[in-house]
Chains A and B, each alone.
Chain A
Amino acid sequence: MKARHKRFTFLVVGLVVLAAAAYLVFQALGNNLSYFFSPTEVAEGKAPANHVFRLGGLVEPGSLKREGEGKTVLATFMVTDNQRSVKVRYQGILPDLFAEGQGVIAQGRMGPDGVFVADEVLAKHDENYMPPEVAAALEKAHDEGVAEMAGGNKP
């Protein structure tokens, strides 16, 4: 085989590998990204209706209920950003550090009844940690709430 042909073959093989990898990467990125939404955004209908997303906020104190029958483990609770709340249903064991009043991120999708059905619930992993998305969402909701109140007070 001539050197020129060999070079060409190497180049083609290399490009094929790269193209395949790039295809895989973009395909996988497109399907597996999940965006973050706060309860306020969900209540305003900004969250996608039929795509997985992450919902984050605080677990509203007193809202955790066990609704499992028989041997099923089913929990519902409210996730709030101190402005609006969204009800979440999760079948399975909640993480160790899941607690009322603490930050939480649930991944899943909205059910037809307006309840967020989570496939995964993440609580913080140690006591120092507040999921940053949750912190940002809460700050934002708080700012908007203050703005609304200020606006409402105007004559």
Chain B
Amino acid sequence: MKARYLVPLAIFLVIVGFLAVGLKMDPKRVPSPLIGKPAPHFELSTLYDPAERITPEKLRGKVWLLNVFASWCVSCRAEHQVVSRFVQMGLAPVYGLNYKDEARDAKEWLRELGNPYEAVIVDPEGDTGIDWGVYGVPETFVIDKKGIIRDKVIGPVTEEILENRLVPLVRKLKEEQG
């Protein structure tokens, strides 16, 4: 065996090394610093009843989802059907966070597509969105019985994410002690 015939193998191994490192730091999956931390506080009114105030503290003791949406957001339309299907399963309530939106537009949007949400929380200025580290709409958070954020889906929830990620997680969280 001559050394020079080993050169291609050596070069290849270096490339594989870089690919492996690149894979480990997969750019598309940015772990949110909020996962594992308590859900940031907010106290906001709802879309249909301005007198009703919702806070994460009030939802302690149950597993719930927060779905950030807006009527101006194209992909929210795409995920709407999937979110509705999740609600129909009856596993956990989904609260909508209407982000930087006009109340009139949001109501029109929900009237057209149907309203799957337990309640729609209104965040017209996007302050709560900033506290929650929202950077693109839609986003979906899963909060456990202790009020800890356990997962965050960036972008629209697809059937695949729903089946393979959210449903198993919610089932697991429901069995945990409150």
Contact = CB atoms under 8 A, between A and B. Distances in A.
Nearest to A61: B100
B137 interface: yes
Interface of B: 27-28, 30, 32-33, 70, 72-75, 78, 99-100, 126, 129-130, 133, 135-137, 154-156, 158
Contacts of A82: 129-130, 135
Nearest to B27: A132
Give the size category of A's interface with B: 20 to 34
Contacts of B155: 127-130
Contacts of B27: 132-133, 135-136
Interface of A: 58, 61, 81-82, 97, 99-103, 127-130, 132-136, 138-139, 142-143, 145-146
19 contacts: A58-B135, A61-B100, A61-B126, A82-B129, A82-B130, A97-B74, A101-B73, A101-B136, A103-B135, A128-B156, A128-B158, A130-B28, A134-B135, A135-B28, A135-B136, A136-B27, A138-B135, A139-B30, A142-B33
Contacts of B32: 139
By secondary structure, the B interface counts as: loop
Contacts of B154: 130, 135
B100 A101 contact: yes
Contacts of B75: 127-128
| Nearest 6 pairs of A and B residues by beta carbon | A132-B27, A138-B135, A127-B75, A142-B133, A135-B30, A61-B100
Contacts of B73: 99, 101-102
